[in-house]
Homo-oligomer: A and B are copies of this chain.
Amino acid sequence: MVKRRISLKDIANELGVSISTVSRGLRDHPDISDDMIAKIKALAGLRHYSPNPMAMGLLKQRTRMIGVIVPDLVTHFFSSVISGIEEVAKEHGYFVIISSSYESYQKEKENIENLMKARVEGFIICLSQETTDYSHFEQIIESEIPLVFFDRVCLKDKVPTVTADSFEAARRITCHFFENNARRIAYISGPEQLSISDERKSGYLMGLLDCGLAFRPEYLEKCNLSTESAALATKRLLSLPNPPDAIFGINDTVVFAAMKEIRKFGLKVPKDILLVGFTDEFHATVVEPTLTSVMHPTNEMGRVAAGLFFELTENVGLLPKSVELKTTLVIRESSVRIGEMI
């Protein structure tokens, strides 16, 4: 068992003064004499006193804990956002409790309940791909508990959000394809309830428009973000009578899966098909050919989310603020056609 840690009482007894004197002394209360303060601090240091956070929490009704819920932990994107959140949380003396929804609505709901029971002071959440019902979020809001969404968002009129400029990024990709002489541009999207799915689709459509290309519904594929489902989507695209000559996906994982599938079809990137990813994982530079991808400021996204969170805790009833972060299209081998053609 854990040894009982040193308490104010221990110090007070040893010094022959009262608990409140020690409490005050430790916090430089003006009422306490300088040498008393010195004596108290010396002993506290010696005994490695540190205040019991549960006693403080009980008193102040604050846990200094933020609940973070992400669809999964093992994706670079999410771990990197979490790093950003933790950095800012630490600066504010907060701890972060991370839960994974495993892309499940049910788990997301359970996680929220558990974290509420643990009395986290608020939430930073990225929606699971299954989530279409928002009542569990409404409940957080009604309880007046701070809540911030990042990347995949909803209820934007009530909840501050941090997102990437998905629309613009998708538009840019589409145009980039066009400039590299692709004319049959396909997009593998995610579940339609996801905000990012939708925005990237709109950007794709806008890009087609900008380039004077017609939208062909058969080039708009969908998957559930799993490797298998992405592979199937790719297979459907490649099996079309007139298959695409350029594909981009809602994220890098999807595109890596597409890459494998393209290879299985005996096609070459970028010779036969151009390919662009989304979220720019480290591995984009490792695959052959290296993958053009939309670089997300992931750490920044976490930092901003945490920033919004603390704004919320400090200013009750603040109007929800939406921050959109700029992304960069990092052009590598997979999307550049050398020997031109039309």
A positions within 8 Å CB-CB of B: 1-5, 50, 52-55, 57-58, 61, 63, 73-76, 79-80, 82-83, 86, 90, 95-100, 114, 116-119, 121-122, 143-145, 227, 256, 259-260, 263, 282-283, 285-288, 316
Contacts and interface: CB of A to CB of B under 8 A. Distances in A.
A54 B58 contact: yes
Contacts of A121: 2
Contacts of A285: 260
Query: Within the oligomer, what is the number of copies of this chain?
Result: 2
B61 A2 contact: yes
Nearest to A146: B2
Contacts of A256: 283, 286
A58 B58 contact: yes
A98 B100 contact: no
A119 B73 contact: no
A204 to B, nearest CB: 24
User: Which of A1, A52, A83 gathers most chain B CB within 10 Å?
Assistant: A1
Enumerate the 4 nearest inter-chain pairs by beta-carbon distance, A residue then B residue, closest first: A54-B57, A288-B288, A74-B79, A256-B286
B80 A74 contact: yes
Contacts of A122: 2
A116 B227 CA distance: 40
Given A3-B143, A73-B82, A283-B287, 15 more contacts: A1-B144, A1-B316, A2-B121, A2-B144, A4-B61, A53-B118, A54-B57, A54-B119, A83-B100, A86-B98, A86-B99, A90-B114, A227-B282, A260-B286, A286-B287
